[in-house]
Amino acid sequence: MAKAKSAATKKSKKDSVASEVVVKDEPKSGVMDNSLMDRYKSMGGAGTENATQADHQVPMIYIAQTNSPCVDSSEDAYIEGIEIGDLYDTVNKEAIKEGLRIIPCDFRVRVLEWTPRDEGGGLVAIHDDRAILQKADDKDDRGRPMMDGHLLVETAEWVVLAEVSPGKYRQFMIPMASSNFRCSRTLMTMVGDYSPDWWDVVGQAPPSFLCSYMLTTEKRENKDGKWRAFTVVRGSECTGDEASRGELLHKLAKAGSLEEVGREDEGTNDSTLASPDGEQKFDDDGQPVPF
């Protein structure tokens, strides 16, 4: 009996120790050992080594207007908490309240071919050569060029690296058509005029991704109504890390390795909407406005 009791006691102690070990080693939620943090920092990119940029999506940035579906709570495209004049991200469906610090990495102007809204809307084709405008064979009732029954909309597109929160970056494409061409021209002028103190290359402008800019929206109005448009001011010089990120995004854009997503069609793009009465209104530059 004594031996049996002693064996049972030993077994009980062994189980208790094992139990203590299991409980002790069980990780706590949200807590990671410093040594593991250092280990995983040295494994950056693990798990996605075979992914290319084509496996990622590049969201679009638009402006919430009074007639944008994203501000209507009854619409599928509604974004919680968004207000007129906010920027918004078409993929993450997030409202951007305080503007966006952007680093321009690539620029191009393309002609987007759309099915008219009254025929269902939708993107038909994207033309890299602006000469396609010369093939327009008609105009719609608002004076916009058409080809084979489709609208041709000249669109400036900026590929940017944006700081969405301190130290956190995302890549976006910002299409600027119609009344937003003014902002595109302003940004291009600022990019062309900027030169850091250390830049001494004669006859060449520095890369666009050496300086950041602040993108927000502003109210505009004329005798026909009010709307919101992009506006931009120069920001700060980029850090070395930001410039390196911008250089990479520039190379990817030039290689055609960016898959754009979330482009809103002519019927919902806030820069090309017509007024409810069907008559297109224009800003002081002669560009269509979204009402």
Q: What is the pLDDT of residues 19-30, one digit of tens each?
A: 444 444 444 445
pLDDT at 156: 92
Q: What proportion of the chain, given as a percentage, has pLDDT over 70? A: 75
Residue 166 reports pLDDT greater than 70 = yes
pLDDT exceeds cutoff 50 at 61:
yes
User: What pLDDT, on a 0 to 100 scale, did the predictor assign at position 51?
Assistant: 66
Is the per-residue pLDDT at 52 higher than 70? no
**pLDDT average, residue stretch 43-50:** 74
Per-residue model confidence as pLDDT tens digits over 81-110 = 999 999 998 888 899 998 999 999 999 998
Rg (Cα) of the chain, in Å, rounded? Answer: 27
pLDDT tens track for 253-277: 888 877 665 566 533 343 433 333 3
Higher pLDDT, 182 or 12: 182
| pLDDT, mean of residues 117-139 | 81
| Contact in structure between 187 and 208 (CB atoms under 8 Å) | no
pLDDT at 231 over 90: yes
Average pLDDT value for residue range 108-123:
81
pLDDT band, very low/low/confident/very high, at 212 (cuts 50, 70, 90): very high
282: confidence class by pLDDT, cuts 50, 70, 90: very low
Question: How confident is the prediction for the chain on average, in pLDDT?
Answer: 78
Q: Which of 271 and 242 is assigned the larger pLDDT?
A: 242
What pLDDT is stored for residue 272 in this prediction? Answer: 38
Judge whether residue 125 has pLDDT over 60. yes
- The lowest-confidence range among 158-162, 217-221, 240-244 is 217-221
Predicted pLDDT of residue 214: 97
Predicted confidence (pLDDT) at residue 194 exceeds the cutoff of 90: yes
Answer for the pair 124, 116: CB distance below 8 angstroms, yes or no: no
3-state secondary structure the chain: CHHHHHHHHHHHHHHHHHHHHHHHHCCCCCCCCHHHHHHHHCCCCCCCCCCCHHHCEECEEEECCCCCHHHCCCCCCCCCCCCCCCEEECCCCEEECCCEEEEEEEEEEEEEEECCHHHCCCEEEEECCHHHHHHCCEECCCCCEEECCEEEEEEEEEEEEEEEECCEEEEEEEEEEHHHHHHHHHHHHHHHHCCCCCCCCCCCCCCHHHEEEEEEEEEEEECCEEEEEEEEEEEEECCHHHHHHHHHHHHHHHCCCCEECCCCCCCCCCCCCCCCCCCCCECCCCCECCC
Task: Please state, as a whole number, how many other Cβ atoms lie within 10 Å of the Cβ of residue 10.
Answer: 10
Please check the confidence at residue 228 and state whether its pLDDT lies above 70.
yes
Stretch 279-286: mean pLDDT, rounded?
44
